[in-house]
Amino acid sequence: MANTLKWEGQQLATWYFTVAIVLFGAQLLMGLIAAVQFLYPSFLFEIFDFSVARMIHINALILWMVFAMVGAAYWLLPDETGIEVVGIKWAKLGFIVLTAAVTVVVVVYIVVQIGPANDMTIWFINEGREYIEAPRWADFGIAIVLVGFLLHVFLTAIKGERTGIVTVLMADMIALVGLYLCGMGFTDSISMDQFWWWWVIHLWVEATWEVLVGVFAAYGLIRIIGAQRQIVEMWLWIEVAMLFGSGILGMGHHYFWIGTPEYWWEIGALFSALEPLPLVAMFIHVTYDWGKQQGIAKAEGRDTAIANTPALAWFFANAFGNFLGAGVWGFFHTMPQVNIYTHGTQFTSAHGHLAFFGAYATILIGVFYIAVQGTNNIKRLKATFDFKMGIILLNLGVFGMTVALTISGYSQVLVERAQMGATWEAFFISQDTLWFVQGLGWRLAMGVVTLVGFIYLVKDLLSTGKNKIHER
């Protein structure tokens, strides 16, 4: 790829994005293996078990998103501050260390897979905390690189211009990196362990990551459609206040049944029920800015305000997907009165898929498109056939999986929980119900659609440099 980038920080960002996309692909392949195993349990039995495929599926998910987020921060820092990332050589070293560590961890997951229930396993194979299962040695490596990343952000922001966007990024990064540390302690009590583990998981996805989405959307809207900085930054502050206001105590919705005191029922119900509000605000914000800038462009006789159609389309998919996956599907099961029936069913998985995809995959793909535009020095990036196939099939695939899993979950809620009272036997009977099994079949089919969409996306990103339809 011809590289015309002025900043080394942005070059580093493209490295992070490349690894992110590779991990995204690995995530999808693992998801497909796990989905086949749901229907045909003997598939790869004792060669590559469901537990392993599922673990790599969701750990690759978190990793690719963290890589893409760090990359996105390095991408926007030089643009916003007007200077090169401070200590760029060290930042590049950090990338190499992180990528090497991740590679070793994944190879161990695939080759060694599991170990005995002792300290050796925790240190060298797997820590066993869903989503963040890196063994202890890698945990320390990741933490050191993340703290280093925090330093680069701060030193660059202090030396260069500190826009509102950069200020929010700085504050959010302290929280985001600090929370990773909360998941590193160890206790023998599973309740205590889960208590802290949710700090990382929930306070990442429902507080600090959402703030990052606000940061990327703000930056992106200025770049893509020339939105006014004052307006964008005002929205950003409102969103941050609302996100933290509801998201922090909203964590209570994970404390209903794990042995924490019962006052969490009320706290969790109230604050998590408020969580969709900032997501509505974010949706209105993107839609409003888009309409406004397009209207100004038309009035001035320009044909469009959009400098990067694919990125804007993905940003819009984000605004809508975040609201739908996190806000609506999350709200469905956030009251303890409902959650007692839905807890840990396929309904949870339906929400997990649409929320992670809608809130994070979408905006990060939008940032990838901003990066290919910058890397190839394109004035106006247009919608190619491959881009359209990618965005349609990916959204259709993930939404289709969500609907399928919601139907499977409904069967579980009805038969296993409501009718049979959540006994061990009830679990197995519900697993054989027609709707449950058919839902899983449709999930697999829609998973294949998702993978095909992903292939189109990668093809489009890789061919942008050569494609003649873009204005240079």
Site residues for ligand HEM per CB under 6 A: 28, 31-32, 34-35, 38, 54, 57-58, 61, 130, 205-206, 253-254, 272, 275-276, 326-327, 330-331, 333-334, 339, 343-344, 348-349, 351-353, 355-357, 359, 361, 398, 447, 450-451
397: burial class by Cβ within 10 Å (0-12, 13-18, 19+)?
A: buried
CB-closest chain residue to ligand HEM: 330
State the nearest-atom distance from the C-beta of 226 to Fe ion, in Å: 35
Cβ-based nearer residue to ligand HEM, 308 or 339:
339
User: How many residues does this entry show for the chain?
Assistant: 472
Instruction: Please name the helix (run of DSSP H) or strand (run of DSSP E) that holds residue 451, with its range, or none.
Output: helix 434-463
CA-based torsion, 382, 388, 389, 392: positive or negative: positive
Cβ-based nearer residue to Fe ion, 205 or 381:
205
State the nearest-atom distance from the C-beta of 45 to ligand HEM, in Å: 15
State the nearest-atom distance from the C-beta of 40 to Fe ion, in Å: 32
Cβ-based nearer residue to ligand HEM, 5 or 415:
415
Q: Which of Fe ion, ligand HEM, none interacts with 402 (beta carbon under 5 to 8 A by kind)?
A: none
Distances, alpha carbon 158 to alpha carbons 13, 70, 83, 211, 222, in Å: 20, 18, 11, 20, 22
Cβ-based nearer residue to ligand HEM, 359 or 381:
359
Q: Which of ligand HEM, Fe ion, none interacts with 348 (beta carbon under 5 to 8 A by kind)?
A: ligand HEM
202 near Fe ion, rule: CB under 5 A: yes
Cβ-based nearer residue to Fe ion, 247 or 366:
247
Cβ-based nearer residue to ligand HEM, 192 or 296:
192
351 near Fe ion, rule: CB under 5 A: no
Cβ-based nearer residue to ligand HEM, 54 or 470:
54
CA 100 to chain centre: 22
State the nearest-atom distance from the C-beta of 280 to ligand HEM, in Å: 11
State the nearest-atom distance from the C-beta of 330 to ligand HEM, in Å: 2
Cβ-based nearer residue to ligand HEM, 334 or 373:
334
Task: Transcribe 125-190 into DSSP letters.
Answer: T----TT----HHHHHHHHHHHHHHHHHHHHHHHHS---HHHHHHHHHHHHHHHHHHHTT---S-H
Q: Which of ligand HEM, Fe ion, none interacts with 353 (beta carbon under 5 to 8 A by kind)?
A: ligand HEM
x-or-dash string of contact with Fe ion, 206-225, rule CB under 5 A? x-------------------
Beta-bridge mates of residue 308: 381
Q: Which of ligand HEM, Fe ion, none interacts with 429 (beta carbon under 5 to 8 A by kind)?
A: none
Q: Which of ligand HEM, Fe ion, none interacts with 409 (beta carbon under 5 to 8 A by kind)?
A: none
State the nearest-atom distance from the C-beta of 440 to ligand HEM, in Å: 8
Q: Which of Fe ion, ligand HEM, none interacts with 17 (beta carbon under 5 to 8 A by kind)?
A: none
Spatial distance between the Cα atoms of 22 and 461, rounded to a whole number of angstroms: 13
Cβ-based nearer residue to ligand HEM, 53 or 88:
53
Task: Transcribe 320-385 into DSSP letters.
Answer: HHIIIIIIIHHHHT-SHHHHHHHTTSHHHHHHHHHHIIIIIIHHHHHHHHHHHHHHTT-SBB---H
State the nearest-atom distance from the C-beta of 204 to Fe ion, in Å: 10
Instruction: Please name the helix (run of DSSP H) or strand (run of DSSP E) that holds residue 298, with its range, or none.
Output: helix 276-299
Distances, alpha carbon 376 to alpha carbons 67, 129, 310, 313, 369, in Å: 21, 40, 15, 20, 11
CB under 8 Å to 190, separation ≥6 — which residues?
A: none
CA 180 to chain centre: 15
The answer to whether 416 and 435 are in contact (CB under 8 A) is no
Please state, as a whole number, how many other Cβ atoms lie within 10 Å of the Cβ of residue 450.
23
Question: Helix, strand, or coil here: 428?
Answer: helix
Question: Helix, strand, or coil here: 471?
Answer: strand
Cβ-based nearer residue to ligand HEM, 28 or 142:
28
Q: Which of Fe ion, ligand HEM, none interacts with 326 (beta carbon under 5 to 8 A by kind)?
A: ligand HEM
Task: Transcribe 93-104 into DSSP letters.
Answer: HHHHHHHHHHHH
State the nearest-atom distance from the C-beta of 384 to ligand HEM, in Å: 22
CB-closest chain residue to Fe ion: 202
Q: Which of ligand HEM, Fe ion, none interacts with 129 (beta carbon under 5 to 8 A by kind)?
A: none
**Contact residues for Fe ion (CB under 5 A)?**
202, 206
